[in-house]
Amino acid sequence: MANYTLSKEIYSHLMNGKMLNKHLLDNAGDDTVNPLFIEIIDNKDEYVKQYKMSGYHLVIAPINDPEYICIVATGTLDGTKTELAMKAMTMLLVIGQYINHHKFKLSKLTNAKSGGLTEDDFLKMADMPHVKEILEKSKLITKGERTLQDVVMKLLVHRDIMIEVPSKKAYILTNPGHSFYQEIQRKFDTESELANEEDNTTIDTQAS
């Protein structure tokens, strides 16, 4: 049976376009389980029904081992690139390229203890090649009014795609952010495999 106090909190959280993550960070920077997440998982059917009746689809991902939850309007799950989605993707790609460009380890984005993007990182990120144009063309920064850190705060941190490490003023990825990078990796892996298969087929054909 759903807890109606928590369900109100969950509603407010999800309706604001925020991700609901399995883990939060405690003061020491360790993972702690999010009670709102557990509430949904324990009463999944009720919550799915609640949002379905209101015209939303409750996304619990990944399916096998849920790590985060969000809602999308029914019918917009696949292929609907909302402005928000496009901006979040663009910003995460810029962050990913920053990790590559400065030869950081991936843990810079994932480890609360040793990693985290700081104000200094965002300043350097803005100076990378192509970034100025990307920010302009994706309407992430208009007329230089806001800094890149402000954009990340508003777009990723306030939506729980990234999370602030307590007492550190640094930001790391949460599960949806991580999922995005994994999806990109899988996409290119599959493409490489397909290309290899095609190559092999060509060789076989030539041989025969």
From candidates 127, 189, 193, 198, binder to another protein by CB under 8 A: 189
| CA 60 to each of CA 29, 43, 117, 175, 202: distance values in angstroms, whole numbers, following the listed order | 25, 12, 27, 12, 42
User: Integer distance in angstroms from the first to the last C-alpha of the chain?
Assistant: 65
From candidates 45, 65, 145, 183, binder to another protein by CB under 8 A: 183
Name which of 89 and 208 has its Cβ closer to another protein.
Answer: 89
Q: Can you tell me the distance from the alpha carbon of 25 to that of 39, in angstroms, rounded to the nearest whole number?
A: 18
| CA 38 to each of CA 11, 35, 65, 145, 162: distance values in angstroms, whole numbers, following the listed order | 14, 5, 13, 40, 20
From candidates 34, 43, 97, 118, binder to another protein by CB under 8 A: 97
Q: Can you tell me the distance from the alpha carbon of 43 to that of 51, in angstroms, rounded to the nearest whole number?
A: 13
How many residues in the shown chain lie near another protein by CB under 8 A?
Answer: 54
Least Å distance, CB 152 to another protein, is: 15
From candidates 85, 123, 195, 203, binder to another protein by CB under 8 A: 85
| Site residues (CB under 8 A) for another protein, limited to 121-160 | 130, 133-134, 137-139, 159
From candidates 1, 79, 145, 208, binder to another protein by CB under 8 A: 79
- Helix ranges, 43-163 (H): 44-53, 83-101, 107-110, 119-126, 131-137, 148-152
Burial of 208 (C-beta count, 10 Å sphere; 0-12/13-18/19+) = exposed
Is 3 a binding residue for another protein by CB under 8 A? The answer is no
Least Å distance, CB 197 to another protein, is: 19
Q: Can you tell me the distance from the alpha carbon of 165 to that of 126, in angstroms, rounded to the nearest whole number?
A: 22
Is 203 a binding residue for another protein by CB under 8 A? The answer is no
Residue 29 contacts residue 166 (beta carbons within 8 Å)? yes
Draw the binding track, 6-45, toward another protein (x: CB under 8 A; -: no contact).
--------xxxx---------x------------------
- 138: which 2 tokens? 């994706």
The residue ranges that bind another protein (CB under 8 A) are: 14-17, 27, 56-57, 59, 61, 70-73, 76-82, 84-86, 88-90, 93-94, 96-97, 99-100, 102-106, 130, 133-134, 137-139, 159, 176, 179-181, 183-185, 187-189
